[in-house]
Structure 1
Amino acid sequence: MQVSSTLDEANPTTANSSRTWSRAFQDIAQAARQRNLWGYLGWQDIKQGYRRSVIGPLWITISTGVMTLALGILFGGLFGNPLHEFLPYVAVGLICWTFISNCINEGAQVFIANEGLIKHLPAPVTTHVFRLVWRQTLFFAHNLLIYVIIFAIFPQPVDLSLLLVVPALALLVVNAGWASLLVGIISTRFRDIPPITGNIVQLLFYLTPIVWSYETLINSESAVVRERAVLAQLNPFMHFIEMVRRPMLGLETNLTNWLVVGAITVVGWAVALLMLRNYRARVSYWV
């Protein structure tokens, strides 16, 4: 970041001059070029979190795997779903949900938790968002080991649709960027937002088809149950998870999921960029 730009933002009387689209896009571009910085910091976050641990970050996979097994057996038995079908279903859903929920919950603290760096390190504010998303992507990669193990135990049909996992995961990461940026800016200004966000995310876990099957609802003989399946489509998180889960389980691709996710990506980034344009220079004051 140029010295003149930094000095302008440090002066409240000239803060309005930073409210330009060029400054917002420049912030993101500079953060992208500093991948060595946020890449290193994200990796160090993981190492520090498991310092002196024998197996280190594998504890992430173990805890998620235990949760997958417990939820799969419990809800599979309650709903009468075959374990060899339901356990992979729960595993992929929980892995995706863990990534999404962590990006949102930690996104609410992304600038608050990095107060020292923001005030003393002349780096773009989006550097901290990149660091967060990179760290959660590494966690996601670790958790994919659960899918590999379950897939080996309970083989699922695989075809060329599996290749759709790559763009699906890319869209998941791209959306994690704007979600973390948006909730991070709002939470930095209004400190009541992080606990509210945590409660909402926890509630949405039960409203999203992770431990219950959307296909069971939509194919039910009861008209009331089928109406609930239609309401479930109003949950945007369902489309993100289904977009990733269906190709990983060899299920037929649902174009609706991709269209909804595409629309959310465009709208989400438009709102996040607007917030970045207007309030980027104020983050250092709010923290």
Structure 2
Amino acid sequence: MSNSGLKDIIKGFKCFGLAVFLAWTDIRQRYRRSTLGPFWISISTAVMLGCIGVIFGGIFKSPIQEFLPFLACGLIIWGFISQCLTEATQVFPSSEAVIKQLPLPLFIYVLRMVTRNIYIFCHNLILIPIVLLIVQRPVGLNGLFFFPGMILLVVNITWISLLIGIICARYRDMAQIVISLLQVCFYVTPIIWMPSLLPERTSAMILGPNPVYHLLEVVRAPLMDQMPTLQNFLFCTFLALFGWLATMFLFDKYRNRIVYW
């Protein structure tokens, strides 16, 4: 192998400052004439939280002090995951003109997209302390596990986005398949429903092999002042290791063809 994919990724990280600048420019252009800017997303998320929290909390007969923070954390983290993977389907085609004109590492476009969604995630994150204050639920020392959990989430989302970007650059129809799979993942992952509602055996069958659940839980559990399980951390760590190895192999093999695709 020529290691061109690995070299591209290393160059992309070296140009990380450029990726951050481009991501910030994208957000400024998107909300250039808006007074509240990205906070409009936070407002829409807050309205959705209120509606789903009241309706589904009543349907599932869940205590609002437990269900509302669970729902808020789940929706906000899921929004980051789903938005990254949805935009990953167009990460290379949307930058076609720049890719053909400037000799930048291709990985920088993935970093740009992920960084842009981290900005938006941070805007939405302010809703969580507000919800915790409303239900009078404190965050203890377990909240410190949010930071390693967030690192694991971003590391995994980055390789998945790169993998999706490569496949969708070659096969454009795959974008619709990815979107459909994300809809399935939303319903089989405890985001708007709590795992305690399922029988123990069914919960183990559905949640055990579900990567989205583990990626979500390593970030959500600390925000709920709970310790993520060892299974959550191990699953996300092994997923990152094997995922990056497989993606780098694929990127190294097809990196030079992406510009023609």
User: Is the shorter-chain TM-score for this pair beyond 0.5, marking a shared fold?
Assistant: yes
Report TM bin, short chain: over 0.9
Q: Which moved more, 1:87-96 or 1:36-45?
A: 36-45
Q: What is the Cα deviation at residue 98 of structure 1?
A: 0.6
Q: What is the Cα deviation at residue 33 of structure 1?
A: 1.5
Residue ranges of structure 2 left out of the alignment (5+ in a row): none
How many angstroms apart in 1 are the aligned matches of 2:206 and 2:220? 16
Amino acid at match of 2:206: A
Q: Does 1:243 align with 2:218?
A: yes
How many angstroms apart in 2 are the aligned matches of 1:191 and 1:212? 33
**Deviation digits for residues 233-252 of structure 1, max 9, x if unmatched?**
22111111111111111124
Aligned residue in 2 for 1:210 = 191
Q: Does 1:20 align with 2:2?
A: yes
How many angstroms apart in 2 are the aligned matches of 1:197 and 1:96? 18
In percent, how many aligned pairs have the same letter?
41
Q: Does 1:265 align with 2:247?
A: no
Query: Rg larger in 1 or in 2?
Result: 1
Cα RMSD after superposing both structures: 1.2
TM-score (norm 1): 0.88
How many angstroms apart in 2 are the aligned matches of 1:203 and 1:277? 31
How many angstroms apart in 2 are the aligned matches of 1:155 and 1:239? 27
Amino acid at match of 2:137: Q
How many angstroms apart in 1 are the aligned matches of 2:232 and 2:213? 8
Would the aligned equivalents of 2:143 and 2:226 in 1 still touch at CA under 8 Å?
no
Q: Does 1:175 align with 2:168?
A: no
Aligned residue in 2 for 1:220 = none
Aligned residue in 1 for 2:132 = 151
Q: Does 1:58 align with 2:39?
A: yes
Would the aligned equivalents of 1:169 and 1:244 in 2 still touch at CA under 8 Å?
yes
Would the aligned equivalents of 1:38 and 1:131 in 2 still touch at CA under 8 Å?
yes
Would the aligned equivalents of 1:103 and 1:179 in 2 still touch at CA under 8 Å?
no
Alignment of 1:111-190 (within 5 A): 111-190=92-171
Q: 1:227 aligns with which of 197, 201, 205?
A: 201
**Deviation digits for residues 54-87 of structure 1, max 9, x if unmatched?**
1111111111121222222121111000112101
Number of matched pairs: 260
How many angstroms apart in 1 are the aligned matches of 2:221 and 2:148? 13
Aligned residue in 2 for 1:13 = none
SS at match of 1:114: helix
Amino acid at match of 1:189: R
Distance 1:157 1:216, change over 3 A: farther
TM-score (norm 2): 0.96
Aligned residue in 2 for 1:110 = 91
SS at match of 2:68: helix
What stretches of structure 1 move > 2 A for 4+ residues in a row? 155-159
Q: Which moved more, 1:153-162 or 1:132-141?
A: 153-162
Aligned residue in 1 for 2:179 = 198
SS at match of 1:122: coil
How many angstroms apart in 1 are the aligned matches of 2:186 and 2:139? 28
